[in-house]
Structure 1
Amino acid sequence: MVRGQVQGVGYRAACCSRAQDLGLSGWVRNRPDGSVEIEAEGSPLELTELRLWCEKGPAEAVVNSVASSQVAATGADWFEVRR
């Protein structure tokens, strides 16, 4: 979960692009409370790289916090933006 000024700044599209570049599977979506939710699966190294990217986001974003938790893998082989 990413909180801050993360909606309306291209965060989802940029996150999706970065996750795809890292070879991760999963999705990213806006939440009604103004945060962005990301579910990603892949190797620990690539997940760490995505987390580090999420802490900064695209240039227009202002990230206040990133909270993570572990969920069961789905086995998906794509990363997408959800609405």
Structure 2
Amino acid sequence: MESRDKDEPLETRLVHVRGRVQGIGYREACVRRATALGVSGWVRNRMDGSVEAMLQGSPEQLAEMCAWLSEGMPAALVEELEVTDVQPPFARFDSFERMPTL
């Protein structure tokens, strides 16, 4: 797992993943991948069948995580990945968690 210096600049992105991404273990795999990359934040299912993730890390970590979100899980069929930069100030996440469905 990559570690981050507490003084290292962070970027935060909100990602919506649409397609076949629920009921296949996508969120669990997302937690494992984010943890391995050193990305913090959360992931949750949405009532509309999409998955939403808040990602925080270096630009390189977030690029790797977004690449994984779009094609990293073979059982998923991602049709759209919408990435929005979150402008500071924002809360600093300490880990990556699975959140309840919204």
TM-score bin (small chain): over 0.9
2:97 is equivalent to residue 76 of structure 1: no
Q: Secondary structure at the match of 1:58?
A: coil
RMSD: 0.9
Flag as ranges the 4+ runs of structure 1 deviating above 4 A.
none
Residue 54 of structure 1, aligned match among 28, 53, 69? 69
Cα distance between partner residues in 1 of 2:72 and 2:50: 13
Provide Cα deviations, 1:10-67, integer angstroms capped at 9, x if missing partner: 1100011100000011000000000000001000000000000011142211100100
Unmatched 5+ stretches in structure 1: none
CA 1:70–1:44 in 2, change beyond 3 Å: closer, same or farther?
same
TM-score (norm 1): 0.95
2:36 is equivalent to residue 21 of structure 1: yes
2:98 is equivalent to residue 63 of structure 1: no
Amino acid at match of 2:63: T
Offset of residue 81 of structure 1? 0.5
Percent identity of paired positions between Structure 1 and Structure 2: 48
Structure having the larger proportion of residues in strand: 2
Unmatched 5+ stretches in structure 2: 1-15
In the comparison of the two structures, how many residue pairs are matched? 83
